[in-house]
């Protein structure tokens, strides 16, 4: 006679199924029997939390600079229960920050270690000149007149003063990301 895990003899007891449970079991048996005989057995994998390493993503805040390869204490956002801080390692890019304000970042947990995966970027927009045109314009006009009394004529003359200007005829806008304010 079979034994229970505690060593006691297992009694023969009748097992009862509901109709829906019996239908479900029958469908599973038909599916397995209808498959190829050279296929491996059905595998169900481990349940989450049953010895399997879960990956966790969290939004946090930090302050100051953060060099590559160094660890920094980050504080979870929207979590009041303790512990609400962890030590995360920066593997990807140096962050130079002279400001003392808290910055947002994202960290992820792999196994038991936390890693920086993203930081809050600041953007700046710049306009670049792509084409220009040069034009000449009049900046001053001097008018002079002379009177000739013997011929009874008046002569009028003008002197133009010009300058060249360069005007913008084409631009392009670019956005730059930076890690510090």
Is 91 inside any structural domain? yes
Q: Which of 112, 108, 76 is nearest to 90 (CA)?
A: 108
Q: Which of 67, 43, 11, 69 is nearest to 179 (CA)?
A: 67
**Percentage of residues in the chain with pLDDT exceeding 90?**
17
Is 15 inside any structural domain? no
How many degrees, rounded to 5, is the angle at CA 161 between CA 160 and CA 162?
115
Task: Show the tokens assigned to 4.
Answer: 């229970």
Query: Same domain for 77 and 113?
Result: yes
Query: Same domain for 116 and 140?
Result: no
Domain that holds residue 83: 56-120
Walk along the chain (181 residues) and give the pLDDT tens digit of each residue.
566 666 677 666 677 778 888 888 888 777 777 765 566 555 655 555 555 556 788 999 998 888 999 999 999 998 878 888 999 999 988 887 766 778 889 999 988 899 999 887 777 777 888 888 888 888 888 888 888 888 888 888 888 888 888 888 888 888 776 655 4
Query: Same domain for 107 and 145?
Result: no
For tokens 């229960």, the residue is 81
């Amino acid at each position: 006679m079979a034994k229970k895990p505690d060593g006691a003899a297992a009694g023969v007891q009748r097992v009862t199924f509901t109709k829906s449970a019996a239908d479900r079991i029958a469908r599973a048996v038909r599916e397995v029997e209808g498959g190829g005989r050279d296929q491996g057995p059905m595998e169900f994998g481990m349940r989450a939390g049953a010895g399997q390493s879960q990956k966790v993503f969290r939004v946090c805040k930090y302050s100051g600079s953060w060099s590559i390869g160094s660890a920094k204490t980050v504080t979870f956002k929207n979590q009041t229960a303790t512990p609400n801080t962890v030590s995360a390692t920066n593997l990807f890019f140096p962050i130079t920050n002279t400001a003392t304000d808290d910055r947002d970042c994202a960290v992820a947990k792999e196994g038991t270690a936390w890693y920086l995966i993203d930081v809050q970027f600041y953007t700046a927009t710049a306009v670049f000149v792509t084409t220009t045109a040069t034009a000449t314009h009049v900046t001053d006009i001097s008018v002079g007149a002379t009177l000739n009394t013997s011929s009874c004529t008046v002569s009028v003359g003008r002197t133009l003063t010009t300058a060249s200007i360069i005007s913008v005829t084409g631009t392009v806008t670019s956005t730059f990301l930076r890690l510090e304010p």
